[in-house]
Amino acid sequence: QVQLVESGGGLVQAGGSLRLSCAASGRTFSSYHMGWFRQAPGKEREFVAAISWSGGSTPYADSVKGRFTISRENAKNTVYLQMNNLKPEDTAVYYCAAGVFNIATVVSRYQSWGQGTQVTVSS
């Protein structure tokens, strides 16, 4: 399995931007599909965005489409989530995940998870 460490979270005002990073260990990073999920207090973990191993497929949740962008740099073993025009409802712990099967939007299709990074958007 691959080990994942997220960074870049913080407190931002509504309308602001943050870029999350997820650094992966291991030499097979380029073979993993990667995803970002988030979990707000009292809610289930939900899909945000995913990216295929090649970067050619990038599905998004409807709630973030047009505001968030997922990308990856296989040479740096890193996946990013650029978040623009943030809203208070984006407040959550954001998790990076790696999967070996087909790119997916559900929690159960990912085998490795990071510890999460807190994103708080104030109104």
Rounded Cα distance between 14 and 28, Å, is 37
User: Considering only CA atoms, which of 14, 18, 4, 106 is closest in space to residue 68?
Assistant: 18
Could you read off the pLDDT of 35-83 as tens digits, one per residue? 999 999 999 999 999 999 999 999 999 999 999 999 999 999 999 999 9
Quick: pLDDT tens for 10-34.
999 999 999 999 999 977 888 899 9
